[in-house]
Amino acid sequence: MEERNNQNRAPIYEALEEFRDARVVPFDVPGHKRGRGNRELAEFLGERCVSIDVNSMKPLDNLCHPISVIREAEILAAEAFGSANAFFMVGGTTSAVQSMVLSACKRGDKIILPRNVHRSVINALVLNGAIPVYVNPEVDQRLGISLGMRFSQVKEAIEQNPDAACVLVNNPTYYGICSDLKGIVKLAHDAGMLVLADEAHGTHFYFGKGLPISAMRSGADMSSVSMHKSGGSLTQSSFLLTGENVHPGHVRQVINLTQTTSGSYLLMSSLDISRRNLALHGKEIFEQVKFLAEYARGEINEIGGYYAFGKEIVDKEAIYDFDPTKLSVHTLDIGLAGIEVYDLLRDEYDIQIEFGDLGNILAYISIGDRIQEVERLVSALGEIERNFRKSKAGMLSQEYIPPDVVVSPQEAFYAKKESLPRRETLHRISSEFVMCYPPGIPILAPGERITQEILDYIAYAKEKGCSLTGPEDEDIDNLNVLK
Amino acid sequence: MDLWFSELQTENVKLSIRVDRQIFSQQSEVQRIDVFESREFGRILSLDGHIMLTERDEYIYDEMITHVPMAVHKNAKNILVIGAGDGGVVRELTRYDRVESIDLVEMDPLVVEVCREYLPQNACRLDDPRVSLHYENGLKFLRKKENSYDLIIVDSNDPFGPQEGLFTKEFYGNCFKSLREDGIMVNQQGSPFYEEDARACKRSHKRIVSTFPISRVYQAHIPTYAAGYWLFGFASKKYHPVDDLDAASWSMLGLHTQYYTTKLHQGAFFLPAYLEEMLKSVE
């Protein structure tokens, strides 16, 4: 009971409240001095908000070396998530993922990972020079989405690369698809490898019932958790969780290589307060989120033409489990690419969803949603079906192209290169990323050979209006390739 | 007693009515519901602090939103009313013998209960055998309907409140789909006078214009609504609100009204210049 009660506390928040009451005179940074020096900003964000935008100091602890209130808040977070340690991250889950990868492997080490990882993972490989060993995820032929890693595929990869340092797993993918994390942890640990989880889309697994297993419960060694996605904290705030096998001092050192020394108390207090909220009310909150997503799925499937997929796609193989809070809808059967439905929802119906890819849309349902907005989304989809439906002919859905890794991401990124018109890059080795954002999963990563399939895919995605990012040339008419 | 109920019409303008006593107050699942007794306006129904109706001037609203489309569409028999849990619109509709069915969709059961108890002048015909009550979200109710109604009356209250979904393009699209080929949709379009209201008014007009082939706006003077000046939208698949008005046959029905006349009907569609301009800017 004692432990449960502790979760009522929010040490950073409490320290900030106390600090505000103390009316300390600031002769330190930030220079706006509680907003007085920037009235417009204070008015826009609110007095209460700017008055706690303060610097590290004794009563408020220091993110680089936490010993008091931040440390306490980290201990409470670790308890709430069931991890040995928890680290407050203020550079987004990107920084958590990078710190995780940088802690677990180094230059020349192999890391086993699915290809449908977030760009931040491969970015980390550019930084540390580790070599990716991709497990090619299967693609669901109907939905055109990349799935999880099969247990047998991971087993094979581990057997073929017994020298690999670690295995990275998406838990879940953007679309809510999980691999057999517990099985993979056992395999990897038996082979002496660490297991890292990208749980950017899995915060709720730690608190809700009837959801896929969380990384820490499955025995994984490290996990990056996007509190700001399903957890309700401010954008850019995140947790890095570690298990018993990982030395917290080493992780702290790695984090401090790249993380700011001026950690934002807005972000840290939002993590603290959100953790408390989830620990105390998470179960009911995610019951409601699940209910809304399931309700929307049922209603959308009744419209006809759309397929809002749910738990029925679980096959215990490449789809080991499915996160029922995710609302993904397959749109190709009404003759519209997901990205087209995404644009229509925004332009015609003032509804902003998370993303649309070639075959699907994803609407993010969370802690802040109400039934009346869900009704709007469902009705707008019905209207799009009625007013914009087209023939399905000529629609492309293939989303996954197996990469041909020729050199390591780091080598390719720093190599001598030249910029060529896109169509002249066939068979060359790319030195940069190309991806649709969101979801931010690379079509091409540094060090990979450019194939006709990839060039066709880029052209089609551009034509459909996907927002393509990565290359130096923003229009992606030119690509940088190795000389 | 010096007890006043005030509603902010904008941040800087308020309407205050001296209240004799508060008769009812409760928070439902959707909103706060209050009923006041006043000397000038009789009983007042307020939702989330906004006046929905008063006994003294509700007839203007209820007559104008009902008789205008009913005098144009002479075969309107199957009717859907969304919102309007007070029953005023239903009361006016049940005066027509030709009406065969009225579906009333109201999201908050407590509103209906309160009006039955405290506003019998409005709720008096809710038990008419032609009326079916549905306690449901309007958008959801409409999704499953197609080609089912001659007339849809949208009596939603506030474009920024819990009924925001009834001011959206997806809602108007669903109304279009649910109407027969000569169907009409009438909605309350708010007050055009104050800036924030005007913006909301423009937004919904724009959405209706893009959904229906015929879309006109008409006006009425309603003392307790913002600026005392209120607009209604008339959207239709076939009938023109003025050209297709058959004044003689409406008069033959012999319905006694306090505000509506067939002459006023025509005049109500002639708008002030600033309003014509404002509406044209989004058409």
Mean pLDDT in residue range A404-430: 93
Question: What type of residue sits at position B218?
Answer: Y
Which residue among A299, A372, A376 places its CB closest to the CB of B170? A376
On whether the CB atoms of residues B76 and B53 are closer than 8 A, the answer is no
Query: How close B178 gets to chain A, by Cα (Å)?
Result: 12
Residues B227 and B116 both lie in one domain: yes
Give me the domain span that covers residue B16: 3-54
CA atoms within 13 A on the CB side of A120: 21
pLDDT at position A436, please? Answer: 80
pLDDT score of A362 more than 60: yes
- Determine, for residues A372 and B137 on separate chains, whether the beta-carbon distance falls below 8 Å: yes
Choose among B218, B205, B179, B167: nearest CA to B80. Answer: B179
Chain A residues touching residue B171 (CB < 8 angstroms): 379
pLDDT tens digit string along A381-390?
Answer: 999 999 999 9
Residues 280-299 (A) with a CB less than 8 A from some CB of B: 299
Rounded to 5°, the CA angle A145-A148-A151 comes to 150
DSSP letter assigned to residue B147? S
Residues B85 and B224 both lie in one domain: yes
Report how far residue A58's alpha carbon sits from residue A53's, in angstroms, rounded to the nearest whole number.
Answer: 15
pLDDT at position A401, please? Answer: 79
Find which of B82, B135, B139 to mutate to test the A interface (most A CBs within 10 Å of its CB). B139
Choose among A89, A92, A28, A15: nearest CA to A54. Answer: A28
Chain B residues touching residue A299 (CB < 8 angstroms): 140, 143
- Determine, for residues B174 and A380 on separate chains, whether the beta-carbon distance falls below 8 Å: no
Q: How far is CA B226 from CA A54, B230, B260, B265, in A?
A: 45, 8, 21, 22
Chain A residues touching residue B164 (CB < 8 angstroms): 372
pLDDT at position B122, please? Answer: 93
Is B22 touching A (CB cutoff 8 A)?
no
Sort strands A85-89 and A360-363 into parallel, antiparallel or unpaired. unpaired
pLDDT at position A368, please? Answer: 87
> Average per-residue pLDDT in chain B?
94
Residues B138 and B229 both lie in one domain: yes
- Determine, for residues B170 and A386 on separate chains, whether the beta-carbon distance falls below 8 Å: no
The single residue listed with the structure tokens 């809070």 is A325
Token readout for A383 is: 């209207």
- Determine, for residues A382 and B143 on separate chains, whether the beta-carbon distance falls below 8 Å: yes
pLDDT tens digit string along A166-208?
Answer: 999 999 999 999 999 999 999 999 999 999 999 999 999 999 9
From A111-120, A279-288, A293-302, the region with the lowest mean pLDDT: A111-120
Which domain CATH number covers B44?
2.30.140.10
pLDDT tens digit string along A37-91?
Answer: 999 999 999 999 999 999 999 899 999 999 999 999 999 999 999 999 999 999 9
Query: How close A48 gets to chain B, by Cα (Å)?
Result: 23
Percent of chain A, pLDDT > 90? 81
Report how far residue A325's alpha carbon sits from residue A286's, in angstroms, rounded to the nearest whole number.
Answer: 8
On whether the CB atoms of residues B68 and B234 are closer than 8 A, the answer is yes
Instruction: Kindly state the helix (H) or strand (E) to which residue B207 belongs, with its residue range.
Output: helix B195-209
- Determine, for residues B168 and A378 on separate chains, whether the beta-carbon distance falls below 8 Å: no
- Determine, for residues B174 and A348 on separate chains, whether the beta-carbon distance falls below 8 Å: no
Residues 71-110 (B) with a CB less than 8 A from some CB of A: none
- Determine, for residues B174 and A371 on separate chains, whether the beta-carbon distance falls below 8 Å: no
On whether the CB atoms of residues A233 and A271 are closer than 8 A, the answer is yes
B158 annotated active-site: no
pLDDT at position A470, please? Answer: 86
Question: What type of residue sits at position B252?
Answer: M
Find which of A345, A351, A372, A384 to mutate to test the B interface (most B CBs within 10 Å of its CB). A372
Query: How close A290 gets to chain B, by Cα (Å)?
Result: 19
Residues B77 and B192 both lie in one domain: yes
Residues B247 and B141 both lie in one domain: yes
- Determine, for residues A383 and B143 on separate chains, whether the beta-carbon distance falls below 8 Å: no
Cα torsion angle, A181, A184, A186, A188, sign: negative
How many CB pairs below 8 A link A and B?
49
Chain A residues touching residue B173 (CB < 8 angstroms): 379, 383, 386-387
DSSP letter assigned to residue B5? E
Is A386 touching B (CB cutoff 8 A)?
yes
Chain B residues touching residue A386 (CB < 8 angstroms): 173, 177
Is A387 touching B (CB cutoff 8 A)?
yes
Which residue among B139, B169, B177 places its CB closest to the CB of A375? B139
SS (H, E, C) chain A: CHHHHHCCCCHHHHHHHHHHHHCCCCCCCCCCCCCCCCHHHHHHHCHHHHHCCCCCEHHHECCCCCCCHHHHHHHHHHHHHCCCEEEEECCHHHHHHHHHHHHHCCCCCEEEEECCCCHHHHHHHHHHCCEEEEECCCECCCCCCECCCCHHHHHHHHHHCCCCCEEEEECCCCCCEECCHHHHHHHHHHCCCEEEEEECCCHHHHCCCCCCCCCCCCCCCEEEECHHHHCCCCCCCEEEEECCCCCHHHHHHHHHHHCCCCCCHHHHHHHHHHHHHHHHHHHHHHHHHHHHHHHHHHHHHHHCCCEECCHHHCCCCCCCEECCCCEEEECHHHCCCHHHHHHHHHHHHCCCCCEECCCEEEECCCCCCCHHHHHHHHHHHHHHHHHHCCCCCCCCCCCCCCCCECCCHHHHHHCCEEEEEHHHHCCCEECCCEEECCCCEEEECCCEECCHHHHHHHHHHHHCCCCEECCCCCCCCEEEEEC
Of all residues in chain A, the one with the smallest CA distance to B169 is A349
Residues B164 and B192 both lie in one domain: yes
Cα torsion angle, B126, B130, B135, B139, sign: negative
pLDDT at position A2, please? Answer: 45
pLDDT at position A5, please? Answer: 54
On whether the CB atoms of residues A144 and A359 are closer than 8 A, the answer is yes
Residues B27 and B82 both lie in one domain: no
Model confidence at A393, pLDDT cuts 50, 70, 90, reads: confident
Find which of B170, B178, B199 to mutate to test the A interface (most A CBs within 10 Å of its CB). B170
- For residue A196, the cross-strand partners are A168, A222
In the listed set B54, B71, B96, which residue is the last one of a domain according to the structure? B54
pLDDT at position A145, please? Answer: 86
- Determine, for residues A350 and B139 on separate chains, whether the beta-carbon distance falls below 8 Å: no
Mean pLDDT in residue range B70-86: 94
Residues B47 and B63 both lie in one domain: no
On whether the CB atoms of residues A219 and A213 are closer than 8 A, the answer is no
Fold of A409-482: Ornithine Decarboxylase; Chain A, domain 4 (3.90.100)
Of all residues in chain B, the one with the smallest CA distance to A384 is B170
Which domain CATH number covers B196?
3.40.50.150
- For residue A131, the cross-strand partners are A110
pLDDT score of A4 more than 50: no
Question: What type of residue sits at position A382?
Answer: G
Residues B132 and B171 both lie in one domain: yes
pLDDT at position A1, please? Answer: 39
- Determine, for residues B169 and A378 on separate chains, whether the beta-carbon distance falls below 8 Å: no
Mean pLDDT in residue range B228-239: 96
Report how far residue A240's alpha carbon sits from residue B81's, in angstroms, rounded to the nearest whole number.
Answer: 53
Residues B32 and B164 both lie in one domain: no
What superfamily in CATH does domain A283-388 come from? Aspartate Aminotransferase, domain 1 (3.90.1150.10)
Is B122 touching A (CB cutoff 8 A)?
no
In chain B, the number of structural domains is 2
pLDDT at position A397, please? Answer: 66
On whether the CB atoms of residues B44 and B51 are closer than 8 A, the answer is yes
Is A349 touching B (CB cutoff 8 A)?
yes
Mean pLDDT in residue range B69-78: 97
Token readout for B74 is: 């002479």
Burial B103-127 (b: 16+ CB within 10 A, else e): bbbbbbebbbebbbebbebbbbbbe
Which residue among A299, A372, A383 places its CB closest to the CB of B174? A383
pLDDT at position A474, please? Answer: 87
Model confidence at B267, pLDDT cuts 50, 70, 90, reads: very high
Catalytic residue among B108, B150, B155, B197: B155
Of all residues in chain A, the one with the smallest CA distance to B174 is A383
Tell me the ipTM for this assembly.
0.86
- Determine, for residues B143 and A376 on separate chains, whether the beta-carbon distance falls below 8 Å: no
SS (H, E, C) B23-85: EEEEECCCCEEEEEEECCCEEEEEECCEEEEECCCHHHHHHHHHHHHHHHCCCCCEEEEEECC
Report how far residue B118's alpha carbon sits from residue A400's, in angstroms, rounded to the nearest whole number.
Answer: 64
pLDDT tens digit string along B135-150?
Answer: 999 999 999 999 999 9
Residues B11 and B105 both lie in one domain: no
Ranked by mean pLDDT, the top range of A16-25, A468-477, B54-63 is B54-63
pLDDT score of B109 more than 70: yes
Choose among A250, A279, A227, A199: nearest CA to A90. Answer: A227
pLDDT score of B119 more than 80: yes
Report how far residue A116's alpha carbon sits from residue A174's, in angstroms, rounded to the nearest whole number.
Answer: 9
Residue extents of the structural domains in chain A = 283-388, 409-482
Q: How far is CA B40 from CA A349, B33, B102, B228, in A?
A: 42, 20, 33, 15
pLDDT tens digit string along A225-248?
Answer: 999 999 999 999 999 999 999 999
- Determine, for residues A376 and B140 on separate chains, whether the beta-carbon distance falls below 8 Å: no
Helices B169-178 and A371-388, axial angle in degrees (round to 10): 60
On whether the CB atoms of residues B241 and B234 are closer than 8 A, the answer is yes
- Determine, for residues B170 and A371 on separate chains, whether the beta-carbon distance falls below 8 Å: no
Residues B7 and B63 both lie in one domain: no
Mean pLDDT in residue range A6-16: 95
